[in-house]
Amino acid sequence: MSPEPYYQDEQATIYCGDCREILPTLGRFDLLLTDPPYGIGADNRARILSRGKLATPKDYGESNWDSAPVDNWTLQTAIGCAGNQVVWGGNYFNVAPSSCWLVWDKKNGTNDFADCELAWTNFDRAVRKFEYRWNGMLQEHAGDKKEQRFHPQKPVPLMRWCLTFAPDAQSIFDPFMGSGTTLVAAKLEGRKAVGIEINQRYCDIAIQRLRQKVLF
């Protein structure tokens, strides 16, 4: 039996808890779209690489969410929950060979951060690339379209782009939900989504984002 949802509306369902406990209670989904912990200490690394730079790295609060990578059992269980899969950071994990890696070119310019990030998929097609600036205060969309960061999250347009690879997928799943970007992207595309997040603060942020009339 599935646990009680922390939040639910017509398009989104959020479970607040450990995905290792919740995953086995859920059914099948059309698409897994997720960005699990890589175990690279993303928050701390950003602070270290930003020392001496003009911009101060954003403080996302105390968290150890990226202190260790997701374990193989949890990742493989999540992959088995959906017919199609997109897993950001797939190059950090033991996944099957794929012809279709998704490449996010962050248009960072010259700095010590990665130029691109990679997502593993099970799509039977060629590698594809998405260009979208996401470098501190420099975003592809500025002004009133500038996206607020609550977490070292992926941008909403990137996740919407991922959804275009599974146009028939109506149920989207993200067991490492963070601040809810996958669910926001799914709502904008008229799809239903389920997310799991262990941190209650991020669950509350995701709910606030989903309730906004303008989701970008």
- Write down the residue that tokens 């950003």 correspond to: 46
Tokens found for residue 125: 């097609």
Length of the chain: 216
Mean pLDDT of the chain: 86
Mean pLDDT of 59-65: 54
Please state at what angle helix 200-211 crosses helix 181-188, rounded to 10 degrees: 20
Examine the pLDDT at 92 and tell me if it is beyond 90. Answer: yes
Where do the domains of the chain lie, and which CATH numbers do they carry?
7-211 (3.40.50.150)
Examine the pLDDT at 83 and tell me if it is beyond 90. Answer: yes
Mean pLDDT of 1-11: 91
- Write down the residue that tokens 């059914």 correspond to: 27
In this structure, what are the phi and psi dihedrals at residue 51, rounded to the nearest 5 degrees? -60, 130
> What's the confidence (pLDDT) of residue 67?
65
Examine the pLDDT at 61 and tell me if it is beyond 60. Answer: no
Tokens found for residue 70: 């997701």
Determine which of 37-41, 60-64, 73-77, 163-167 has the lowest per-residue pLDDT on average.
Answer: 60-64
> How many Cβ atoms are within 10 Å of 108's Cβ, its own excluded?
16
In this structure, what are the phi and psi dihedrals at residue 195, rounded to the nearest 5 degrees? -130, 150
> What's the confidence (pLDDT) of residue 39?
84
112-134: b (≥16 Cβ within 10 Å) or e: eeeeebbbbbbbeeeebebebbb
Examine the pLDDT at 142 and tell me if it is beyond 80. Answer: no
> What's the confidence (pLDDT) of residue 155?
93
- Inter-residue contact 34 to 175 (CB < 8 Å): yes
